[in-house]
Amino acid sequence: MTQNLTELLRAMPKAELHIHIEGSLEPELIFEMARRNGVAIPYASVEDLRKAYAFTNLQSFLDIYYAGASVLLKEQDFHDMAWAYLLRAKADNVIRAEIFFDPQTHTARGVSMETVINGLHRACTNAKSQLGIDAELILCFLRHLSEEEAFDTLEQALPYRDKFIGVGLDSSEVGHPPEKFARVFAKCRQQGLHLVAHAGEEGPPAYVWSALDVLKVERIDHGVQSVKDPALVQRLAKDRIPLTVCPLSNLKLCVFPTLKEHNIRQLLDAGLCATLNSDDPAYFGGYMNDNFVQTFEATGLTKAHAYRLAKNSFEGSFADDAKKREYVQRLDAAFAARGG
């Protein structure tokens, strides 16, 4: 790949639409928080923990990811985790971040919803004033738990309704289809929350269909299995449903055997509103620009694809129209400054 394209990928403004904030917790910060909170972790050192990051599928990752989150106890911990991510995002020229958080991972350990949301939200507010990043929160329900538990979580979160913009659905996909959460998503819709769901990461195209038609989500997280169903690809194209694709995550969780075999080019060339994202950067070996550079290197994507991916990230965001126009102007300026 030319140095010019690498530099453009790094420098261009972009939005990140698929980042689990608990997945941005680096081993160093896990150890630091374990120490300051007196939480025992079953690893001798940062290197020892990092060595455990060898995954065979989604579940093998989730087991370690939930264990890592157990060091988060205080509002300051949630703030510090999000702030560390936002500093990395700034370095990658991310100008908007829509950040997932998994409150059930914390409330199940006795941490209050108030602690979780206030800590994360303070970091987002500071990101706007100090880093120039528009950062918003999306509350995710854990799909391996029941819909009743999701309702309970929503009830606990509604007093903080003004501090998150939407809800999502994550955790173990296969065996937990979107329709399991039909009623709670309907209630979130009534609340005016934006709706997204992980679907078609490991699960079948049927899960993408039901995320769209039963949950009525506005975006699909991952969605890479959609190519197995041409009618679904047509639907995603017709309605310009954004897919928040995470190539390094897919590689590390063995969704694709190599990055070269990833289907991002197929998705883009089919006219889909696909975007690139980091998912759980501390676990998958890369933040936004690592995902861009490594994916472009492996698959031979071009400058035109780079523009399209950044533009899709703004179009697919939940920013208002005036903001979206401003983001695209900044993108155009970055391209113009590097020869159009």
Tokens of 78: 């949630």
Among 184, 252, 280, 318, binds ligand ADE (CB under 6 A): 280
Closer residue to ligand ADE, CB minimum distance, 23 or 27: 23
Using the minimum distance from each CB to ligand ADE, give the nearer residue, 80 or 280: 280
Binding residues (CB under 5 A) for Zn ion: these are: 279
Single out the residue of 218, 173, 169, 178 nearest to residue 195, CA to CA. Answer: 218
**Separation between Cα atoms, residue 265 and residue 274, nearest integer Å:** 9
Exposure b/e, 3-24, CB count within 10 A at least 16 = b = eebeebbbebbbbbbbbbbbbb
Cβ burial of 2 (10 Å; 0-12, 13-18, 19+) is exposed
Active-site residue (options: 75, 201, 202, 261): 201
Instruction: Answer positive or negative: Cα dihedral of 50, 56, 58, 63.
Output: negative
**Counting Cβ atoms within 10 Å, is residue 283 exposed (0-12), middle (13-18) or buried (19+)?**
buried
Binders of ligand ADE among residues 56 to 75 (CB under 6 A) are 58, 65
Closest residue to ligand ADE, judged by C-beta, is 170
Site string for ligand ADE, 195-214 (x = CB under 6 A): ---x--x-------------
Is residue 201 among the annotated active site residues? yes
* 8 A C-beta contact, residue 164 and residue 135: no
Rounded least distance, CB 252 to ligand ADE, Å: 9
Give, as ranges, the residues between 2 and 21 that touch ligand ADE (CB under 6 A). 20
The nearer residue to ligand ADE, 96 or 222, going by C-beta atoms, is 222
| 280 annotated to a ligand binding site | yes
Least Cβ distance, residue 225 to ligand ADE (angstroms): 13
Q: According to CB under 6 A, which one of 70, 107, 153, 171 is a site residue for ligand ADE?
A: 171
- The whole-angstrom separation of Cα 292 and Cα 288 is 6
Nearest approach in angstroms of CB 169 to ligand ADE is: 9
* Chain Cα centroid distance, residue 301: 22
| Binding site as annotated, residues for substrate | 280
| Binding site as annotated, residues for Zn(2+) | 18, 20, 198, 279
Report the interface residues with ligand ADE, using CB under 6 A. Answer: 20, 23, 58, 65, 170-171, 198, 201, 249, 279-280
Active-site residues: which are they? 201
